[in-house]
Structure 1
Amino acid sequence: MKKLAVIAAIGAAFISTNAAAWGNAGHRVVGSIADKLIKGSNAEKQVQALLQPGESLESIANWADCVKGTYCGPQSPEMVEYVNANPQHSEYHYTDVPFQLNEYHDHGVGTADVDIVQTMKQAVLVLQNKDTPETNPHKFSKRQALLILTHLAGDIHQPLHVGAAFVSKDGKFVVPKTHEEIDSLNIFDSRGGNNLQMDEAALAVSSAKLIPPADVPPEASKFPTKPFHSYWDTTVVDYAMRRTSKRTPEQFAQWAVDSKPTIAASTGEVASWPYQWANDALVVSKQAYADVSVGAASKQTSRSTGESYTVWAMTVPDNYPVPSSAIAREQLVKGGYHLAAMLQKIWP
């Protein structure tokens, strides 16, 4: 099959990070679906008691990303207080389990005490009034727990926020057995796929043949490449919405609810549900990386920190926008339904 050539950007202006899964629109979709599903329930009453007038799950779904900078507007006192009390808050959004594995295990390779599974579990216990100093080390308030949980329910359904790719020195995906093996000499961390670089122009050509056009043509990219992680954060959401002819997160959410999807129910104690969702995301991450291969390596240097790091060219199938956007659509809907079910389990 002819492949999209994916090449490494030279002299990129940024250092890759595990940033905002699904982007603004995707998180609002998840929140909006949950808003609709809990309407009229005790969960809705409890949620509204923690939110401020005029807020909804949709409107606060990006709060945990907005605290990372000023791109959502000036930082509120509430945001400043949260950031000061949570210096590792940017690490709450993901875990880095090798995508080839089938399950998330506490203290396994790529996991951390501050990763997405642990943070969601802690937030659930806070909302259940079951937290202790040991289970709530960050001293989340109930409102903070809801703000964080709403956002992370989206993050954990973005497959690259759970299933991580590690690359050997000879350019193959490998499974490190211990964290110490990820030494940037023999095994490299692709940083959630951020260091795997897609050819932006080739992607545009391919998607133009497969995805309905946007109402407003996007501006030309300033960079020749797109990080694979960024593609999964935002591009597939845009494709998914265009393929369903929905222009706003609320419209997409209403379409999702009206379609009455079959969503597998989570089981057992609600604090264990993030583990189940992470395991499901590992299944999906295998699909995300299917038929994707690593190409030539090169070096980039961050203009902000001066750090040098390795990036790789990669290839994906020509039709990749179609299956990837279908996966994104399914995961967004799943995220909204799972969030609603979790809130109703916490507040029956």
Structure 2
Amino acid sequence: MHNPRSLAGAPPAHRPTRVPVMTTSFARGIAALSLLAACCGSAFGFGAAGHNAVGDIAAQLIKGHRAEAEVQRILGPVSLRDIAVWDDCVKGIDTGNDFKYAVTGRFPECAVFENNAEEEVRMRDYVKRNFEQCGPKPGEESCNKQYHYANVAVQRGRYVPGAIGTSDHDIVPALKAAILVLKTGRQTPPMDFNEREALALVVHALGDMHQPLHMGSLYLDADGKPYDPDRQGADALTHTVGGNAITMPRPDGTPGGNLHSYWDGLPGRLSAEQLAAMPALAKAVPPTTGNPDDWPVLWASESLIGAKEAFEGMSFGARQQSLRGPRWMGTPPAGYEARSLEQTRENVIKGGARLAQLLRSIWPDKP
């Protein structure tokens, strides 16, 4: 959760970029509640499958370009696919136990960085430098964990610095800071990245930014009705934390996982055929225009529109209190599973295409 700050509403963002539609059809007529049977996989943002796919797509699209050589110079034998999850793997550093890595063997996607003294030193050093320097408020996560998201109210329609749910160290300024390190070597406090860490964050952020609930959040009142914190006033009791506080029912009506975890796990449910087709489809994604310095805000704003779509048609029960804070029971509309899977498929493709475009803008081909 970010330190809330208020700002008046902003005009809607540009329309989201669409990607080519695959011929693979999704099952129709699935009962709305059945989607929770598959909820919730990896605790990692966007799930390892989504991050890996974004890295794979970008690696294919930068082949033969200067960006490929620069990535290899920085990462050595580590691939874009593997480094894509590094910023989630470092969450395994136990800050209460001398910054030791404490989750060896729990996450297969992190195996490439485990049982390796040099890699553990890298993770410890990164977290130490990006732990409390941003001044987390009571109840907030450590700084490095806040680099993964923003919690902008979906009513805003675009990312505006200073709006509730933003901070000077949310995913957008963190991405900008990492890009600056790769371009110039200059730091942007409170972030502190070396070159390898900056590249890892860029790759990871392009995944998280295309998971809409990492950008936009729904705020609900005590009756489960939408609440606008920028217009009605900041109130921690209305914050669903990007859907983490929205409990989804199992088919039998009992409480299941949360909505944010459902969306994080969706890339892992895409078929092998869908994933294999993504690099070719990514080549058809329209390139982002304008100044590359503005791209993070443009992409974040598009993701906010996607977040609004992710919440559309859902109904919510009255607020309930739990040991972890307020909770709401959410009920998805019919067809939600197919809709969310297709949105995720498109987002992964766009994330990979845009990562490649960003890397090539950082390291343009020489004449």
TM-score, normalising length from structure 1?
0.79
Q: 1:224, CA displacement in angstroms?
A: 4.5
Q: Decide which of 25, 31, 36 is 2:55's aligned counterpart.
A: 31
1:201–1:224 Cα contact (<8 Å) kept: no
Q: 1:40, CA displacement in angstroms?
A: 1.0
2:334 paired with 1:311: no
2:87 paired with 1:64: yes
Written as runs of structure 1 = structure 2, the 5 A alignment for 1:1-348 is: 4=32, 20-52=44-76, 54-69=77-92, 70=103, 71=106, 72=110, 74=114, 76-87=120-131, 88-129=143-184, 131-132=186-187, 135-177=188-230, 181-184=234-237, 188-201=238-251, 224-234=255-265, 236-239=266-269, 241-242=270-271, 245-246=273-274, 252=275, 254-259=276-281, 262-301=284-323, 308-348=324-364
What is the CA deviation profile of residues 72-103 of structure 1, one whole-angstrom value per residue up to 9, with x for unaligned ones?
Answer: 35571100110111111000000011112211
1:153–1:338 Cα contact (<8 Å) kept: yes
Q: 1:268, CA displacement in angstroms?
A: 2.6
In 2, distance between residues paired with 1:160 and 1:342? 22
Structure 2: 5+ residue runs without aligned partners?
A: 1-28, 37-42, 93-102, 132-142
1:5–1:314 Cα contact (<8 Å) kept: no
% identical aligned pairs: 36
2:151–2:215 Cα contact (<8 Å) kept: yes
1:158–1:232 Cα contact (<8 Å) kept: yes
Moved more, 115-124 or 254-263: 254-263
Kindly tell me the number of residue pairs found equivalent between the two proteins.
Answer: 299
Q: 1:265 to 1:321 in 2, by over 3 A?
A: same
2:61–2:356 Cα contact (<8 Å) kept: yes
Q: 1:154 to 1:202 in 2, by over 3 A?
A: farther
- Bigger strand fraction: 1
Structure 1: 5+ residue runs without aligned partners?
A: 9-18, 204-222, 247-251, 302-307
What is the CA deviation profile of residues 18-57 of structure 1, one whole-angstrom value per residue up to 9, with x for unaligned ones?
Answer: x6321111100000000000011100001111003x2110
1:3–1:315 Cα contact (<8 Å) kept: no
In 1, distance between residues paired with 2:69 and 2:208? 25
Q: 1:197 to 1:269 in 2, by over 3 A?
A: same
Q: 1:292, CA displacement in angstroms?
A: 0.9
Moved more, 173-182 or 192-201: 173-182
Q: 1:300 to 1:5 in 2, by over 3 A?
A: farther
Q: 1:262, CA displacement in angstroms?
A: 3.2
What is the Cα-based RMSD across aligned positions, in Å? Answer: 2.6
Q: 1:5, CA displacement in angstroms?
A: 5.4
Q: 1:2 to 1:182 in 2, by over 3 A?
A: farther
In 2, distance between residues paired with 1:238 and 1:2? 19
Q: 1:271, CA displacement in angstroms?
A: 2.4
Q: 1:145 to 1:122 in 2, by over 3 A?
A: same
Q: 1:148 to 1:178 in 2, by over 3 A?
A: farther
Q: What is the letter of the counterpart of residue 160 of structure 2? A: H
In 2, distance between residues paired with 1:2 and 1:48? 44
In 1, distance between residues paired with 2:151 and 2:232? 10
